[in-house]
Chains A and B, each alone.
Chain A
Amino acid sequence: ETGVTQSPTHLIKTRGQQVTLRCSSQSGHNTVSWYQQALGQGPQFIFQYYREEENGRGNFPPRFSGLQFPNYSSELNVNALELDDSALYLCASSLQGWNTEAFFGQGTRLTVV
């Protein structure tokens, strides 16, 4: 067990709705990265938060947004859900720095219908 907790584990939403996914990082870790994993694919980097600020972003539209809190936990928000947003959303916590190890949560399985 990594100490990285994601909630909820499963979620079903309707197209056009908004969703918030949560990630509690491992104790002492100040960096959270979010990834989207479509069925049968490898994860794709969405963005990273370091000390409450976005610290890098992948090729995702602005309707994907995030937050990091003073305790370093993080939220991923997706507005105007589309069917293609159905995926496993993973967060990983780490320390910021050169080649530090990342610890992954169990993921949130989002289904958009």
Chain B
Amino acid sequence: KNEVEQSPQNLTAQEGEFITINCSYSVGISALHWLQQHPGGGIVSLFMLSSGKKKHGRLIATINIQEKHSSLHITASHPRDSAVYICAVNSGGSNYKLTFGKGTLLTVNP
């Protein structure tokens, strides 16, 4: 069993829909990262969370440390949101050795 599990693996939505991507982890962590990866490879850091909730534009990330679970929400989804969304956890204290989930491929159709 992977230390970081994401669901769903693939998600197709219509423009405007509310999107939720889930991440569960099995180790103690000091922080959780949500990352976005577009075709071609480059990764962009969306959020780093150690508790509670963060919001940036149409993106919202929440984490429940007791339940070892985090969610990434996208409101009013748009075709440009289509990408792979990756959850990664930092269990080492310092920021090295991030452990990544396999990612969720999101496709938003116009």
* A contacts, CB < 8 Å to B: 2, 31, 33, 35, 37, 40-45, 48, 55-56, 58, 88, 90, 92, 94, 96-107, 109
A-B contacts, CB under 8 A, total: 81
Question: Using a CB-CB cutoff of 8 Å, which residues 62-87 of chain B contact chain A?
Answer: 86
B94 close to A98 (CB less than 8 A) = yes
B4 close to A42 (CB less than 8 A) = yes
Assembled-state Cα–Cα distance A90/B44 (Å): 12
- Residues from chain A with a CB closer than 8 A to the CB of B35 are 104
| Nearest chain B residue, comparing its CB with the CB of A96 | B94
Beyond A48-B96, A55-B94, A107-B41, 17 additional contacts (C-beta under 8 Å) are A31-B95, A33-B97, A43-B43, A56-B94, A56-B96, A56-B97, A92-B43, A92-B98, A97-B94, A98-B30, A99-B48, A99-B50, A99-B95, A103-B45, A104-B35, A105-B42, A107-B40
Number of B positions contacting A (CB below 8 A): 28
Q: Mark B81-110, 1 if CB is under 8 A from A, else 0.
A: 000001010101111111111110000000
The distance from the CB of A79 to the nearest CB of chain B, in whole angstroms, is 23
Q: Mark B16-48, 1 if CB is under 8 A from A, else 0.
A: 000000000000001101010000111111001
* B contacts, CB < 8 Å to A: 4, 30-31, 33, 35, 40-45, 48, 50, 86, 88, 90, 92-103
- Residues from chain B with a CB closer than 8 A to the CB of A109 are 41
Assembled-state Cα–Cα distance A18/B40 (Å): 23
The distance from the CB of A108 to the nearest CB of chain B, in whole angstroms, is 8
Assembled-state Cα–Cα distance A73/B30 (Å): 27
Given contacts A2-B44, A90-B41, contact A98 B97 (CB under 8 A): no
B92 close to A56 (CB less than 8 A) = yes
A101 close to B102 (CB less than 8 A) = no
B103 close to A42 (CB less than 8 A) = yes
Assembled-state Cα–Cα distance A13/B35 (Å): 29
B97 close to A58 (CB less than 8 A) = yes
A42 close to B86 (CB less than 8 A) = yes
